[in-house]
Chain A
Amino acid sequence: MLRTREDRQVLVRRIEISRVGVGALLSLLAVAYWIIQIVRGDYFFNLSENNRIRAVKITAPRGYVLDRNGATLVENEPAYTLHLYRRESRNLDDSVRFIVGLLDLNPEVVKSRVERGKRAPEFVPIPIAENLSIEEVAAVEARAVEHPEFAITVSQRRQYIRGGSAAHALGYLSEATPEQIKASNNIYAVGDWIGQKGIEGWYERLLAGVNGERRVIVDSHGREVREDNRLEASPGQNLFLTLDSKLQEIAEDYFKDRVGAAVALDARTGEVLTLVSSPTYDPNWFTRRVTSAEWNALLENPDRPLQNRAIQNMYSPGSIIKPFFAYGALSLGLVDPDQKIFCPGHAEFYGREFHCHKKGGHGLVNLRDAIKMSCDVYFYTLGRKLGIDRIAEILGSFGFGNPSGVDISFEKSGLVPSEDWALKRRHARWYPSETISVSIGQGPLLVTPMQVARALAGLVEGGRIPTPHLFYASQAPGTNAPLRYTADASTALPITPEQLKIVKDGMWAVVNEPGGTAYGSRVAGFEMGGKTGTAQVIGRDATLRAGVDKSKFQDNAWFVGFGPVEDPQMVVVVFVENGGHGGLAAAPLAKMLFEARFVPPKPAPPGVQAAGPAGGLQTASSRGTR
């Protein structure tokens, strides 16, 4: 009961004011929602889309690698990885105890992995063990109901079927380094596999294909609810190599207990038929996650298995360089092939005594016989006549001093000395007596076996130097047009057929005439030409004095061979580190390779033929390289 009328009116007025206030406040709220929902609606809508959509990569299956006859060298096999989903685990300690017992794992390793995994958000599964066997996978799956926290994921693992065979040609995969990720414009992410070295590295983009992507709807725990969109991966291309597995096997067998390298090329095309570097390593090893201790063991192996001796090690060529000088001198018209030089077993040049490898001397020798018997005095004389700069010109025209261009990375250039080089690099003038050493393949001159093979192909083909390559055939990504390797051949100095015949005849005699330095390795029913080399190991005397293992300072043995002599199809370079005499330690492998390929003669390998029209061909070098 109100006591005064007036008072009630005051209250009623206050209520009226409050109604205005209520209306105003609610209207302001409506305006605030208008701003958030209408004015900034798109912005928040995008945020909500980002919230719920996650991109999940679909890894493209990597292309296989096959030899020229279609035999598989590298494939992929399923690899099983065990993951722990923390959210599903009632008790992490119990989970660890269970899995350690079930799979006989190292408890310390598992615990440390779990600890490391705890730093990531809860929905990120923790990898516990890689490369589970089928039996282990079955054991985990069988207990899946009791232990839903463990799940197996399948991925593809690179499998090098023949282990260490042709490892240096194939290369290997490893996780992309930060530099590689950066260089790829972030196509690669941490943990991605990427080809390293060999053709795995060189043709990475071709083999890797293009990864796809799944867009999945996830809840606030990151759990996948369903798939929204899917962009399929386009698989990597299968890659056929020029390698001939039969020859490769023979060469690897020969190098089982030897250190060195062997290269066989198709003399006309530069196709690499064989590429061996010994000792080798097993590329499968890298895809099983290497510990740093294992890495160091491999890196510290004194024989350096990772080193590709065919392209990365530089050696003195020794006498195998002589036919190139013969060729060059003939081409330049600086030698009369019939003129005989008397070899007493030694000779004096620039006031210094130089010895021939044959103590008693070869007597009177012409160019052909000088090659056949590898007469040092003859080539000393020839070398003096040419001079170091003309020698450099000749060697340069055969590609020495430059990478061979083979489709493998980290190739070395070798070293062709000249007066200019001496001044620039050595800061001392060139001593003419050094020219005498170089003229029998010693001195500062350094070559790789691949360079020698390429130069030899050029020599026997009369100056047409092919580019060595392992790429045989593939398909272009996207268009699937056939791809063949095309690379320009370069040319050495011009030479007449008659002049070329003299050099080849001398090399024929090396193998096929009594008195030739590789007569022991002649091939019955087949005409192989060749040249031996026995190169002194640099620094040998000094190190011998230090009292180190003598076997390490035996001469390096070389043999270069080609055949058939009349129509050369294959060139072979064999290099045996500390092998001793080239005719004894290196030539036998060449003999075996020519026998295997030509005796009895076989039809040309079928391989994979490029189908489509010539216009559809694309160069592998532009498409496949990085």
Chain B
Amino acid sequence: MIRRLIGVSRIDPLVLVSALALSMLGVLFIGSATIGTKFEGLAGRQAIFIAIGLVAMTAAILFDYRMLLKFSFAIYCVCLVPLVYLLVFGESIANVRSWIRFGKFQFQPAELSKIGTALLLAYLFENEDETRMRTATLVRIGAIVGIPVLLVFLQPDMGLALTFLPLIFVGLFFGGLPAKGWLAILVVVAVLAGGGWFVLKDYQKARIGTFLNPDSDVLGSGYQVRQSKIAVGSGGFSGKGFRSGTQSQLRFLPVQHTDFILAVIAEEWGFLGVILVLGLFATLILRSLKLAQTARDRGGMFLVLGLTAMIFFSVVINASMMIGLAPTTGIPLPLVSYGGSSVATTLLGIGLILGVQYRRFANA
């Protein structure tokens, strides 16, 4: 029956349900992580943003994505405007010019520009279908992704800038870059990484330094990683119980309702909680990739691939961050971490994925 439903449904239930479940988990653990702190009440706000995201998702499903692809260059440009505006007039919050205020709410335009960039990239590959990738295409990919990355990097929000990078990978891998090309890119990246060391802010360098040697600075940058590892590890198999994590409830965890929400889940629900979260993401991502295979056109395929890749990248980096396998770069766990712009745009993106599936038949 379920198999049948999945087979014939025009909206894929696995993707939808796992996205909703992850959002609910987020609300639950944002509540646990903020109870009794000045952040209490953020779970409610998150729920509002989820609602907004669901509305956006519905709109994305109903609206023909092919129209969006057609106007993707305009959308892309519109998305870049606030990023430029922020760099020029932006208000600095916590040393970063990432937010635009709307009364009581703040919005991170960079999140939305991820969607715009994915759209333009998909539109590029709608028409770019040579078996061998042309150099011009390579340059175009670099420009489409590079511009917003540069603007976000200048805010400076390294974490958010990094979340654009999977789009380049999607372009190169699925676009069919030959082995020689990969080699060339590897060399370029190595050179850039060396040069980047001189561009990075001190605190960013410190984070990378502590990532390489977390015990070097127990009370400084290494503190976060260390406390997060303790939280995760001490959760054991089944956890200390909801709202009973000592690391989170006694505030040993840093920014626990945003970037470190998975550590809270790992501590309070243990390995089972982690498997639940990773399992839901696996369902969401693997199922989305499956949907990409059935898209009616290249544009739809690349749109799904780009959106899915960004989610996957964030999940892997964030989950690795918790246990010290990646530097703390400020990348949230999609759908689960607190953050209105992030959760709303992620739901919008999932809406687009579902929309591609919704219109998979040529006559739809």
Using a CB–CB distance below 8 Å, which chain A residues touch chain B?
Answer: 1-4, 7-8, 10-12, 14-16, 18-19, 22-23, 25-26, 29-30, 32-34, 36-38, 40-41, 43-45, 47-49, 51-52, 217-221, 225
Contact = CB atoms under 8 A, between A and B. Distances in A.
A625 B363 CA distance: 101
A48 B250 CA distance: 10
Contacts of A12: 293
A47 B234 contact: yes
A52 B244 CA distance: 13
Interface secondary structure of B, over-half rule:
helix
Contacts of A16: 293
B246 A23 contact: no
B320 interface: yes
Contact of B173 (A18, A19, A32, A34): A18
Contact of A44 (B232, B250, B298, B315): B232
Nearest to B319: A29
B321 to A, nearest CB: 11
Given A18-B289, A37-B233, 11 more contacts: A11-B293, A22-B312, A23-B282, A32-B323, A36-B229, A36-B323, A38-B271, A44-B229, A51-B230, A218-B250, A220-B250
Given A11-B301, A37-B274, A48 B316 contact: no
B174 A11 contact: yes
A32 B326 CA distance: 12
Nearest to B250: A219
A14 B232 contact: no
B286 A48 contact: no
B131 A10 contact: yes
23 contacts: A4-B129, A11-B174, A11-B293, A22-B282, A22-B286, A23-B282, A23-B286, A26-B285, A29-B319, A30-B275, A33-B278, A33-B319, A37-B235, A37-B274, A38-B271, A44-B229, A44-B232, A47-B234, A48-B234, A51-B250, A52-B246, A220-B227, A220-B250
A218 B319 CA distance: 28
Interface secondary structure of A, over-half rule:
helix
Given A29-B278, A36-B229, A41-B237, A51 B271 contact: no
Contacts of B233: 36-37, 40-41, 43-45, 47-48
A225 B237 CA distance: 27
B129 A30 contact: no
The 8 A-B residue pairs with the shortest CB-CB distance in the complex, in nearest-first order: A44-B233, A48-B234, A219-B250, A41-B236, A45-B234, A220-B252, A37-B271, A220-B251
Nearest to A17: B173
A14 B174 contact: yes
B119 interface: no
Contacts of A37: 232-233, 235-237, 266, 270-271, 274
B325 interface: yes
A47 B266 CA distance: 16
Contact of B247 (A11, A32, A43, A48): A48
A289 to B, nearest CB: 31
A120 B260 CA distance: 28
Given A25-B316, A38-B236, A33 B246 contact: no
B298 A11 contact: yes
Contacts of B234: 41, 44-45, 47-49
B201 interface: no
Contacts of B246: 48-49, 51-52, 217
B271 A33 contact: yes
Nearest to B125: A11
B289 A2 contact: no
Nearest to B281: A26
A12 B298 CA distance: 11
A48 B323 contact: no
Residue in A23, A26, A30, A52 whose Cβ sees the most chain B Cβ within 10 Å = A26
B279 to A, nearest CB: 9
Given A3-B129, A7-B129, A51-B246, A30 B274 contact: yes
Nearest to B176: A10
B230 A44 contact: yes
B250 A45 contact: no
B232 A33 contact: yes
Contact of A19 (B174, B235, B289): B289
Contacts of A48: 230-231, 233-234, 246-247, 252, 267
Contacts of B229: 36, 44
A19 B290 contact: yes
Interface in B23-53: none
A47 B226 CA distance: 10
Given A4-B129, A37-B271, A29 B250 contact: no
Residue in B233, B236, B252, B285 whose Cβ sees the most chain A Cβ within 10 Å = B233
Given A25-B316, A29-B319, A33-B323, A7 B232 contact: no
A536 B305 CA distance: 110
A162 to B, nearest CB: 50
B251 A30 contact: no
Contacts of A38: 236-237, 271
A121 B246 CA distance: 21
Given A19-B286, A41-B236, A52-B246, A33 B266 contact: yes
Nearest to B169: A18
Contacts of B323: 32-33, 36
A221 B251 CA distance: 8
Nearest to A45: B234
Contacts of B319: 29, 33
B292 interface: yes
Interface string B48-81: 0000000000000000000000000000000000
Interface in B280-307: 281-282, 285-286, 289-290, 292-293, 296-298, 301, 305
Interface string B209-247: 000000000000000000101111111110000000011
Nearest to A14: B174
A35 to B, nearest CB: 9
A15 B237 contact: no
B305 A15 contact: yes
Contacts of A25: 316
B250 A33 contact: no
A38 B131 CA distance: 47
Nearest to A35: B323
A221 B267 CA distance: 20
A612 B282 CA distance: 78
